[in-house]
Chains A and B, each alone.
Chain A
């Protein structure tokens, strides 16, 4: 029971997201029927699900919303921004109700209830008031003039007749026919219900977790056929459902009897018992039937024992033929059925492309792949030591496969960032209205993929940046026009891959950061000494300082500030960084840079002394030999560019003499290059990142550890920290003791 509820809540939240997105889209492109249908479907699915889990308050609320949507769909009312705002409000309310359900409360509390009432009242007063009763979409021709008289006239009953046979797996999938039937009762009245247990095999063969039941139901309701069908949407693929409208022709019933697996005589009796047919009608129907298909009755008797009745079926012509022959099928029903079928297959196809998996199963797989990579490294090491050519070849093949498996496994965790971006449509819409600004959100690179756990943690920092840009960056329309910009502000969310990282940008064309004000503020707060020379980037980065942001707002000028330190901390927690660039009067750009994955990377193995280190391969640009003459200085000339060097031997205080020839690994991070001086280059290595213990958390320059094939531990270098450290120390040296020769400043490009 709890499981069903939680599935319902998860799925409904997804539906709500779809609904919201569609509403916003509809605001931009009014009159798009497909979008409107999508909205209707979402609302309906939520209602249907709520009905199944018997959550009355969600059904009640959603029902009214659905009525309204139905009117929209029938073009009885037109959509304007007020209505969209109201519908968005309703979507929020449904979200709140889901929250109530999730919390396990019996119903919404007084406040929430009042909110719901208010929304419903507005819906009722403004949009639904003109008609007291909802127009029921085309009740399929209750009494059409017979297309061609055949097999007797219409039967007497004015009830729908529903034949249901549930599939064996229904119960196992957590769905109980009982719930569906009870829900059916909520859209009409079940006049009679007959339970058929014929399909149940003998005791030994009977699987207590399979469902063997069928039902013949006489049902009186004003709902139309689709509405009845929708009741069973959730089991659509697992049940066979046949619905006869009220006053169907007798031959339709005969057709029904033929298609059902049970024996015709017995079914006939049941139909009589349910009240769908009278005895006279049944006799008449079966008489025509027997005339048309001799032999049915005899085989029918035999079939009584076994529910399958396969032998009997062979002798009958397919029901479709009979129906076509007798021209009794109403064209609209055929059309509806065909459309329904199409919809079902489409839905099936969509489902086939997606499976839900529990996240911990995935984590477990990734862990195993990690172990496989480590074990594989050890095998290939042993193979190369053994010197057996064939073994080496075989292990290298396995190694390649392991690599593919690793990539595929990591890919499983990747999700597109577009979903996260799309959430901001609503935020931007609401906030810009609130603040009286006109802001357009432009999203690009939504298909860029990154690790799921990262996406989740990215939401808050992004929200901060977007809010900040709207609040402090983008000016009100009047100000914008005065400074010669279009009145409509532009906010961009971009995502793209860049050398082993993913970059997410929040760009606005607002006022930009005011360097002087920030500097003044920083000096006032004691973050910077007066007279200290700072690059633009450094000044802008001051806004991420904790003291800078929280207390006093710099907002009314142009500097930003609320919680920027939190943004930076969150991003750094993901081993990422955030940079800001800005032009006064033209806008600012916040770029978040994150590593692609948190678990396994391609590494480049290097050696210093006896120890091995791993440099993430994505950041390696090239390797050069360190010429003996340059070995004293901490920079080299790389094709006319100054390349600062980091000497691992000195940095990590490794004992022993440096060998004759040292190598430089040129690495790049965020556009800055530097060289790491090592003793040996040992080649590519698949690296499973193992986090370091808490004690080592504050060590700069080390990103984690990994296990080599030999079982030894190698440290993973944190290229970002190394490059920054290198750039910083160069700058310090440059400012404190200007050397006579050319400034060895880090090249900034």
Chain B
């Protein structure tokens, strides 16, 4: 199991839960990060919980990146994030490599 390491782009690590309770500040943070760089890498390996609101934020981010011709990649998924993306059948649409984090990425 390889770990994904590419230090060329700024990485944004989300450590809090991707839930409705944090949705508003997270939206701002994600979009700000996207606006600040051409290629954004997001590390979700520390996300403990994700709900539909959190999922929507990821969708929004992806769409926004496409609109602005930028790149936004999720470089590491936590188990719960992966599970939700799978359930919603969006893993393919997101197009990020789904890696099971082996220890710390």
Binding stretch for chain B, among A84-92, A191-199, A736-744: A191-199
Say whether B63 contacts A176, CB under 8 Å: no
The answer to the question of A717 belonging to the interface, with a C-beta cut-off of 8 Å to chain B, is no
Binding stretch for chain A, among B1-9, B69-77, B81-89: B81-89
The answer to the question of B90 belonging to the interface, with a C-beta cut-off of 8 Å to chain A, is yes
Pick from A192, A194, A200, A211: contact of B52, CB under 8 Å: A211
Which residues between 193 and 217 of chain A lie within 8 Å of chain B, taking CB atoms?
A: 193-195, 197, 200, 203, 206, 208-209, 211-213
Say whether B89 contacts A206, CB under 8 Å: no
Interface string of B36-68 (1 = CB under 8 A from A): 000000000000000111011101100110000
Residues of chain B with a CB closer than 8 A to A182's CB: 87
Say whether B56 contacts A203, CB under 8 Å: no
Say whether A200 contacts B20, CB under 8 Å: no
Residues of chain B with a CB closer than 8 A to A206's CB: 27, 56, 60
**Cα distance A213–B51 when bound, in Å?**
13
Q: What's the minimum C-beta distance from A181 to chain B, rounded to whole angstroms?
A: 7
Q: What's the minimum C-beta distance from A191 to chain B, rounded to whole angstroms?
A: 11
**Cα distance A211–B52 when bound, in Å?**
8
Pick from B24, B56, B63: contact of A213, CB under 8 Å: B56
Residues of chain A with a CB closer than 8 A to B51's CB: 171, 176, 178
Say whether A208 contacts B57, CB under 8 Å: yes
Tell me what chain B mostly uses at the interface: helix, strand, loop, or mixed.
helix
Q: Of residues A172, A178, A213, which shows the largest number of chain B Cβ atoms within 10 Å of its Cβ?
A: A178
Q: What's the minimum C-beta distance from A301 to chain B, rounded to whole angstroms?
A: 19
**Cα distance A499–B57 when bound, in Å?**
62
Which residues between 270 and 306 of chain A lie within 8 Å of chain B, taking CB atoms?
A: none
**Cα distance A182–B27 when bound, in Å?**
26
Say whether A208 contacts B89, CB under 8 Å: no
On whether A178 and B60 interact (CB within 8 A), knowing A194-B89, A209-B23, the answer reads no
Question: In the complex, what residue of chain A is closest to B62 when comparing beta carbons?
Answer: A197
Interface residues on B, range: 20 to 34
Residues of chain B with a CB closer than 8 A to A675's CB: none
Residues of chain A with a CB closer than 8 A to B24's CB: 208-209
Pick from A178, A181, A203, A208: contact of B23, CB under 8 Å: A208
The answer to the question of B11 belonging to the interface, with a C-beta cut-off of 8 Å to chain A, is no
Residues of chain A with a CB closer than 8 A to B52's CB: 171, 176-178, 211, 213
Question: In the complex, what residue of chain B is closest to A170 when comparing beta carbons?
Answer: B52
Question: In the complex, what residue of chain A is closest to B64 when comparing beta carbons?
Answer: A203
**Cα distance A192–B89 when bound, in Å?**
8
Residues of chain B with a CB closer than 8 A to A208's CB: 20, 23-24, 26-27, 53, 56-57
On whether A209 and B20 interact (CB within 8 A), knowing A171-B53, A178-B52, the answer reads yes
The answer to the question of B31 belonging to the interface, with a C-beta cut-off of 8 Å to chain A, is yes
Q: What's the minimum C-beta distance from B22 to chain A, rounded to whole angstroms?
A: 9
**Cα distance A203–B60 when bound, in Å?**
7
Residues of chain A with a CB closer than 8 A to B84's CB: 178
**Cα distance A212–B55 when bound, in Å?**
11
**Cα distance A182–B86 when bound, in Å?**
12
Q: What's the minimum C-beta distance from A653 to chain B, rounded to whole angstroms?
A: 63
**Cα distance A213–B53 when bound, in Å?**
10
Question: In the complex, what residue of chain A is closest to B26 when comparing beta carbons?
Answer: A208
**Cα distance A658–B88 when bound, in Å?**
87
Which residues between 17 and 39 of chain B lie within 8 Å of chain A, taking CB atoms?
A: 20, 23-24, 26-27, 31
Pick from B31, B55, B88: contact of A203, CB under 8 Å: B31
Residues of chain A with a CB closer than 8 A to B89's CB: 192-195
Residues of chain A with a CB closer than 8 A to B63's CB: 197, 200
**Cα distance A206–B59 when bound, in Å?**
11
Say whether A178 contacts B87, CB under 8 Å: yes
Q: What's the minimum C-beta distance from A359 to chain B, rounded to whole angstroms?
A: 25
Pick from B31, B59, B90: contact of A200, CB under 8 Å: B59
Residues of chain A with a CB closer than 8 A to B20's CB: 171-172, 208-209
Say whether A197 contacts B59, CB under 8 Å: yes
Residues of chain B with a CB closer than 8 A to A209's CB: 20, 23-24, 53
**Cα distance A506–B79 when bound, in Å?**
61
Residues of chain B with a CB closer than 8 A to A203's CB: 31, 60, 64
Pick from B26, B56, B88: contact of A193, CB under 8 Å: B88
Q: Of residues B27, B84, B89, which shows the largest number of chain A Cβ atoms within 10 Å of its Cβ?
A: B89
Question: In the complex, what residue of chain A is closest to B51 when comparing beta carbons?
Answer: A176
Q: What's the minimum C-beta distance from A186 to chain B, rounded to whole angstroms?
A: 14
Residues of chain B with a CB closer than 8 A to A200's CB: 56, 59-60, 63
Pick from A181, A194, A212: contact of B56, CB under 8 Å: A212
Question: In the complex, what residue of chain B is closest to A190 when comparing beta carbons?
Answer: B87
**Cα distance A212–B24 when bound, in Å?**
15
**Cα distance A62–B56 when bound, in Å?**
34
Q: Of residues B57, B64, B88, which shows the largest number of chain A Cβ atoms within 10 Å of its Cβ?
A: B88
Question: In the complex, what residue of chain A is closest to B59 when comparing beta carbons?
Answer: A197
Which residues between 158 and 176 of chain A lie within 8 Å of chain B, taking CB atoms?
A: 171-172, 176
Residues of chain A with a CB closer than 8 A to B26's CB: 208
Q: What's the minimum C-beta distance from B92 to chain A, rounded to whole angstroms?
A: 11
**Cα distance A203–B64 when bound, in Å?**
7
Q: What's the minimum C-beta distance from B17 to chain A, rounded to whole angstroms?
A: 11
**Cα distance A474–B13 when bound, in Å?**
73
Residues of chain B with a CB closer than 8 A to A193's CB: 87-89
**Cα distance A211–B63 when bound, in Å?**
16
Residues of chain A with a CB closer than 8 A to B57's CB: 208
Residues of chain B with a CB closer than 8 A to A212's CB: 56
Question: In the complex, what residue of chain B is closest to A185 when comparing beta carbons?
Answer: B87
Q: Of residues A172, A200, A208, which shows the largest number of chain B Cβ atoms within 10 Å of its Cβ?
A: A208
Residues of chain A with a CB closer than 8 A to B87's CB: 178, 181-182, 193
Q: Of residues A192, A194, A203, which shows the largest number of chain B Cβ atoms within 10 Å of its Cβ?
A: A203
Q: What's the minimum C-beta distance from B99 to chain A, rounded to whole angstroms?
A: 22
**Cα distance A206–B23 when bound, in Å?**
11
Say whether A195 contacts B53, CB under 8 Å: no
**Cα distance A201–B86 when bound, in Å?**
23
Question: In the complex, what residue of chain B is closest to A175 when comparing beta carbons?
Answer: B52
**Cα distance A176–B60 when bound, in Å?**
18
Residues of chain B with a CB closer than 8 A to A177's CB: 52
Q: What's the minimum C-beta distance from A200 to chain B, rounded to whole angstroms?
A: 6
**Cα distance A191–B53 when bound, in Å?**
24
Q: What's the minimum C-beta distance from A553 to chain B, rounded to whole angstroms?
A: 58
Question: In the complex, what residue of chain B is closest to A178 when comparing beta carbons?
Answer: B52
Q: List 12 A-B contacts (CB under 8 A).
A: A171-B20, A178-B52, A178-B84, A178-B87, A182-B87, A192-B89, A195-B89, A195-B90, A197-B63, A200-B56, A208-B24, A208-B57
**Given A181-B87, A192-B89, A211-B56, 17 new contacts (CB under 8 A):** A171-B52, A171-B53, A176-B51, A178-B55, A178-B84, A182-B87, A195-B89, A197-B56, A197-B59, A200-B59, A203-B31, A206-B27, A206-B60, A208-B26, A209-B23, A209-B24, A211-B52
Q: Interface on A for B, CB 8 Å cutoff?
A: 171-172, 176-178, 181-182, 192-195, 197, 200, 203, 206, 208-209, 211-213
Q: Interface on B for A, CB 8 Å cutoff?
A: 20, 23-24, 26-27, 31, 51-53, 55-57, 59-60, 63-64, 84, 87-90
Closest 5 CB pairs of A and B: A208-B23, A208-B27, A195-B88, A203-B64, A197-B59
